[in-house]
Amino acid sequence: MKRAIYPGSFDPITLGHEDLIKRAAATVDELIVAVLVNPAKNPLFSVDERVKMIKEVTGKIPNVRVESFDGLLADFARKENAQFIVRGLRMVTDFESEMQMAQTNHVLNENIDTIFFVTSLKYSYLSSTTVRETAAFGGDYSKFVSPEVYAWVERRMRDLKS
Ligand code: PNS
C-alpha cells in the first residue's frame, strides 16, 4: 500500500493545491491531505474549517483522506504508516526551503521520501496568501479557488467587516 501525505497550511486551499491533490492521488493508493495545526500563525480559517473545506472539494476523489496534525510531520507520517510526503514546487525560489524540509524529514524518519510535483503552469503564481490578500482588498479571486472555497472566503470577509 503506497500511502502519501500532502501537508500544508491550506489557508485556504487553492486551485493549485487541488490540482496537485488530483495528480498525487492518481499516483498512490492513499493520499492524506494533512492540515498543520500551527498556533504561531494567525489564520483566516480555523483548522476545523480548513479540514471541512478540503473535504468539500476533494470529496469525489475516493483515495483522499483529510486530517489535521500537530508536532512533527515525520512523526505524523510514522503514525499514519506513510512512506511519502508530497509537495509542490512552483518556482525555483521554493526549491531551497523544500530541499531543506525534505532532508530534515528524511533524517527524522528514514522511511520517508519526499516526492515533488512541478506545479501546473497556470497555477505557478498562486498561493493562499495571494487569495487572502486579493480577497481582503476587494479584488477578483474567483480564478484562484473553487466555487465552494470562494463561498467560504466571501462569508469570512463579510463577517470580518461586520
Ligand atoms: O503550506 P505550508 O505552510 O508551506 O506547509 C508547511 C508545512 C506544514 C509542510 C511545514 O511547516 C511542516 O511540515 N510543519 C510541521 C513541523 C515539522 O515537521 N518541522 C520539521 C520539518 S521542516
Mean of the pLDDT values across residues 8-23?
A: 98
Q: Whose CA is nearest to atom 22 of ligand 1?
A: 101
Alpha-carbon distance 106 to 136, whole Å? 38
How far apart, in whole angstroms, are the C-alpha atoms of residue 1 and residue 50? 27
Distance CA 76, CA 26 (A): 22
> Which of these is catalytic: 17, 50, 87, 132?
17
122 catalytic residue (yes or no): no
Q: Is the pTM of this model over 0.85?
A: yes
Coil, strand or helix: which one is 26? coil
Q: What is the pLDDT of residues 56-104, one digit of tens each?
A: 999 999 999 999 999 999 999 999 999 999 999 998 889 999 999 999 9
Minimal-distance CA residue to ligand 1 atom 17: 72
Phi-psi region of 81 (alpha: psi -120 to 50; beta: other; left: phi over 0): left
CA 74 to CA 104: how far, in whole Å?
9
Segment 108-138, tens digit of pLDDT: 999 999 999 999 999 999 999 999 999 999 9
Q: Report DSSP state, residue 45.
A: S
Give DSSP secondary structure letters for 94-135.
HHHHHHHHHHHHHHH-TT-EEEEEEPPGGGTT--HHHHHHHH
- Ligand 1 in contact with 9 (CB < 6 A)? yes
Nearest to 86 by CA among 7, 12, 1, 2: 7
| Predicted local distance difference test score (pLDDT) of residue 38 | 86
Q: What is the mean pLDDT of residues 144-162?
A: 96
Q: Is 13 in the pocket of ligand 1 (CB under 6 A)?
A: no
**pLDDT tens readout for residues 29-66:** 999 999 999 877 789 999 999 999 999 999 999 999 99
SS3 string, 76-105, reads HHHHCCCCEEEEEECCHHHHHHHHHHHHHH
Please indicate whether residue 12, judged by its CB atom, sits closer than 6 Å to ligand 1.
Answer: no
Instruction: Say whether 41 is catalytic.
Output: yes
Measuring from atom 13 of ligand 1, which residue has the nearest CA?
73
Residue 23 catalytic? Answer: no
